[in-house]
Amino acid sequence: MKAWRLNAPNTLELTDMESQPVGDDCVKIKLKYSAVSESDIMLYSGKIPIDAPLVLGRQGIGMVTEVGKNVKNVSRGDIVAIRPFSACGCCQMCASGRMSDCDNLAVYGQSADGFLRDFAVVNANDIYKLPDRLDKKSALLLEHVDMAISAINALKLERGEHILINGASYLGIILAQLALSYQAVPIVVDIDKERLAVAEKYVYYVLDFSEVDVRKRVMTITGGRMSETVVHIPQCGLPLNQALLLAARNGRVAITGWENTAELSGINVEPILNRQLTVTGINGSNNNFPSAINMLVNKTVQVDFDKMPEVNFANVDQVFKSYNGTGHKFILSRIVMD
């Protein structure tokens, strides 16, 4: 089995690993697509500590090649998405159905070997069969759709409300599309012109933080109320304090992100107190994969953005070596195994 393994910070090598046995409750998958994401870069650079060696790669799409005798949900030849985390199935949280809150959660590509490899053996509970009509490359962003659903639900977004999205990343644009499906009014703010150009394909209100008075513009859009709901995406590099000032009194705010990737130093809590804001944290995948798959199939959200580069599996190391520490793209490169 070929795998890109991180042995120490900034030390990634393509190595041969022993094939894993397929347990009774497991499946073996031939990976077709993976990705290099923001968290992978942070792991590679040593910003997130790990127990090395570790195979990176949080996202995985592939074909089932072998199934354990207890597996009923998929068959050989099925194309599946792999959930980024694996729950123990034994703790109190798992017993109550809250697998994303498992006390012993293993995160692929961070605390367990990920999917920058040609084959992987995973528990059958961690996979979802993908419909034939779904673009398999787009399925790499299922976790983003999952997180967007969680944010919308946590905010209790209602028809006609405004939702200020502080960051035009993939997640931000997915959130905006979901808001439109709820008949809410998304306002996307960013400072990166490339991201803003993509957002303009989907959203009417797109504001460049570097060129306009965002607070004044939001006040005009909302009729002076400011935004009833706000989503802040820390990895986009915009200040949280700005997002809080754009929220209406008694507004609801969600801060979204992945494990250990959010930088929220220097927070001024005065707007939270003065405006009596409700603030919620949304982290990683939250058991919404089936809904996320349906939304991709029905094109409630579209995620196959032109700017997502494709890289052959053999050249994965070049993606890491060429990253210069600038930009926040969430998924930097789509990895093609074939």
Model confidence at 309: pLDDT above 60:
yes
End-to-end CA distance of the chain: 14
The confidence score (pLDDT) of residue 270 equals 85
37 in any annotated domain:
yes
The confidence score (pLDDT) of residue 127 equals 95
The confidence score (pLDDT) of residue 325 equals 56
Model confidence at 28: pLDDT above 80:
yes
Task: Indicate the pLDDT class of residue 238, thresholds 50, 70 and 90.
Answer: confident
Same domain for 329 and 274? no
Question: For residues 183 and 157, is the Cβ–Cβ distance under 8 A?
Answer: no
In sequence order, what are the residues at sequence separation of 6 or more whose Cβ sits closer than 8 angstroms to the Cβ of residue 246? 164, 166, 189, 214, 215, 218, 226, 227, 230
Model confidence at 252: pLDDT above 60:
yes
Question: For residues 108 and 84, is the Cβ–Cβ distance under 8 A?
Answer: yes
The confidence score (pLDDT) of residue 30 equals 96
Task: Indicate the pLDDT class of residue 260, thresholds 50, 70 and 90.
Answer: low
Same domain for 90 and 64? yes
Model confidence at 247: pLDDT above 60:
yes
Q: How far apart are CA 337 and CA 136, in angstroms?
A: 13
Same domain for 45 and 154? no
293 in any annotated domain:
no
User: Helix-strand-coil percent breakdown of the chain, rounded to 5?
Assistant: 30, 30, 40
In sequence order, what are the residues at sequence separation of 6 or more whose Cβ sits closer than 8 angstroms to the Cβ of residue 295? 145, 149, 178, 301
Same domain for 325 and 238? no
Same domain for 274 and 310? no
Domain with 215 in it: what CATH number?
3.40.50.720
Same domain for 150 and 129? no
Task: Indicate the pLDDT class of residue 297, thresholds 50, 70 and 90.
Answer: very high
255 in any annotated domain:
yes
174 in any annotated domain:
yes
Same domain for 258 and 151? yes
Element (H, E) at 272: helix 270-274
- Residues in a beta bridge with 66: 28
Same domain for 279 and 158? yes
Same domain for 266 and 159? yes
Element (H, E) at 281: strand 278-283
Q: What is the overall mean pLDDT for the chain?
A: 89
The confidence score (pLDDT) of residue 165 equals 97
The confidence score (pLDDT) of residue 286 equals 73
Question: For residues 80 and 121, is the Cβ–Cβ distance under 8 A?
Answer: no
The predicted model scores a pTM of 0.91
Q: Cα separations (Å) of 186 from 10, 91, 149, 301?
A: 39, 39, 15, 14
247 in any annotated domain:
yes
89-107: average pLDDT: 80
Question: For residues 170 and 330, is the Cβ–Cβ distance under 8 A?
Answer: yes
Residue 210 vs residue 259, higher pLDDT: 210
98: closest CA among 293, 288, 295? 288
Same domain for 191 and 133? no
Same domain for 226 and 154? yes
The confidence score (pLDDT) of residue 259 equals 66
Q: How many domains does the chain have?
A: 2
295 in any annotated domain:
no
228 in any annotated domain:
yes
237-243: average pLDDT: 85
324-338: average pLDDT: 65
Residue 54 vs residue 100, higher pLDDT: 54
6-32: average pLDDT: 93
54 in any annotated domain:
yes
Question: For residues 43 and 56, is the Cβ–Cβ distance under 8 A?
Answer: yes
Residue 96 vs residue 217, higher pLDDT: 217
Model confidence at 320: pLDDT above 70:
yes
The confidence score (pLDDT) of residue 331 equals 61
The confidence score (pLDDT) of residue 262 equals 60
Same domain for 24 and 7? yes
Q: By mean pLDDT, which of 154-163, 166-175, 203-212, 237-246 is the weakest?
A: 237-246
The confidence score (pLDDT) of residue 324 equals 56
Residue 22 vs residue 319, higher pLDDT: 22
Q: How far apart are CA 163 and CA 181, in angstroms?
A: 13
**Domain range holding 219?**
144-283
Q: By mean pLDDT, which of 83-97, 188-202, 217-231 is the weakest?
A: 83-97
The confidence score (pLDDT) of residue 23 equals 94
Domain with 51 in it: what CATH number?
3.90.180.10
The confidence score (pLDDT) of residue 261 equals 61
The tokens describing 236, both together, are 């986009």
How many CB atoms within 10 Å of residue 161? 21
